[in-house]
Amino acid sequence: MDRILSGIKPTGQLTLGNYIGAIKNFAKVQYEGETFLFIADLHALTLPIEPETLNKNSRDIAAYYLAAGLDPKHTSIFLQSDVSEHSELAIILQNYLYMGELSRMTQFKDKSSKMKEEAIGLGLFAYPVLMAADIVLYNANRIPVGEDQVQHVELARDVVKRMNNRYGKILAMPKAEMVKVGARIMSLSDPSKKMSKSDPKGDIYLSDSLEVMRKKIMSAVTDMGKEIKYDPINKPGISNLMTIMSSLSGKSFEEIEKEFVGKGYGDFKRAVADVVVNEMAPFKARYEEIIQSGLVDEVLSEGAKRAKVVAKETLTRVQHAIGLYRK
């Protein structure tokens, strides 16, 4: 039986990129195996964050998971910090990952290049160590993520190889998997950049009102020419909007191109906005209901209990293999 695992870091407001590349897909694949989904709150500490913001963002992610259709009876939904085995295993794994490979991680390079050296925390550097621990604790073989996280999953594979070569087959081999369309949604204001949690103009936030979402799409940067054509090199803006439309509507790029032959960018953007609003309206309404209901705490506490059982078993197996035990 497959073990599926993924997580989202509660650093900022979730975007349409997170929804398309991750959350919507989690809901789709959850019944294909035993699924563990967490809120990576310890990872959120790798950059400065206010305690109230961290706490609110974490609960929001849990509510968004539920609003997207994740079923807490089947899928264990929990806070990373509620399962202390994540931290314990990370302390062990840090000895099997090396400075050179950690300093080559794209995410570390991106984030640290904007900071003074004195301000770069060790946690930011060691981020992939904790992420490897997250993954291997659940013997997960399938790791659904957006494109930007694949490099981290690759590093988790390396550490599994190292541990298994040295100590026998103690850990399952994880593999990153991405949605076919939408694993890298780009910024609406600069389609050469990924839509991230920190670019208010180029991002669609799940917390934006439907009107604001519509406005942002209508003012998205487009390209030269006037054809609606999927061509990420020459038409990155239109191709990004086509990706959003395709992933939410299920229509292929060819179908979209055919539908908009002879029509302009304005018509096309209006249609993209309709698709986004139609998807987001019920999703946002469910989110509001869930936040009001008090369900989140119950789900997180139940999820942590179930996750802990599996995590403890793996940690004990690793401790035994490496010599950390009493007779």
Binding interface with ligand TYM (CB under 6 A) = 5-9, 17-18, 20-22, 40, 43, 131, 134-135, 143, 145-146, 148-149, 152, 182-185, 194-195
Phi, psi of 265 (to 5 degrees): -60, -35
Rounded to the nearest whole angstrom, what is the least distance from the CB of residue 111 to ligand TYM in the complex? 11
Rounded to the nearest whole angstrom, what is the least distance from the CB of residue 267 to ligand TYM in the complex? 25
Is residue 197 part of the annotated active site? The answer reads yes
Rounded to the nearest whole angstrom, what is the least distance from the CB of residue 135 to ligand TYM in the complex? 5
Catalytic residue among 73, 114, 180, 194: 194
Query: Greatest CA span in the chain, whole angstroms?
Result: 77
What are the residues whose beta carbons fall under 8 Å from the beta carbon of 216, sequence distance 6 or more? 188, 201, 203, 204, 208
Choice between 28 and 320, CB closer to ligand TYM: 28
Question: Are 16 and 194 contacting, i.e. CB atoms less than 8 angstroms apart?
Answer: no
Choice between 5 and 228, CB closer to ligand TYM: 5
Choice between 57 and 222, CB closer to ligand TYM: 57
Is residue 28 part of the annotated active site? The answer reads no
Best CA proximity match to 119, nearest among 177, 46, 28, 35: 46
Question: Are 132 and 105 contacting, i.e. CB atoms less than 8 angstroms apart?
Answer: no
Rounded to the nearest whole angstrom, what is the least distance from the CB of residue 20 to ligand TYM in the complex? 6
Rounded to the nearest whole angstrom, what is the least distance from the CB of residue 15 to ligand TYM in the complex? 6
Q: Where are the strands (E) in 69-149, listed by range? A: 76-79, 142-144
What are the residues whose beta carbons fall under 8 Å from the beta carbon of 13, sequence distance 6 or more? 57, 197, 203, 205, 206, 207
Q: Where are the strands (E) in 120-190, listed by range? A: 142-144, 175-177
Q: Where are the strands (E) in 49-193, listed by range? A: 76-79, 142-144, 175-177
Ramachandran region of residue 323, left (φ > 0), alpha (ψ -120 to 50) or beta?
A: left
Is residue 111 part of the annotated active site? The answer reads yes
What are the residues whose beta carbons fall under 8 Å from the beta carbon of 122, sequence distance 6 or more? none
Catalytic residue among 111, 175, 226, 263: 111
Phi, psi of 209 (to 5 degrees): -70, 165
Rounded to the nearest whole angstrom, what is the least distance from the CB of residue 261 to ligand TYM in the complex? 28
Choice between 227 and 253, CB closer to ligand TYM: 253
Choice between 153 and 296, CB closer to ligand TYM: 153
Pairing of strands 142-144, 33-39: unpaired
Best CA proximity match to 3, nearest among 240, 326, 313: 313
Find the residue with minimal CB distance to ligand TYM: 21
Choice between 6 and 75, CB closer to ligand TYM: 6
Catalytic residue among 197, 251, 263, 308: 197
- Active centre residues (catalytic): 111, 194, 197
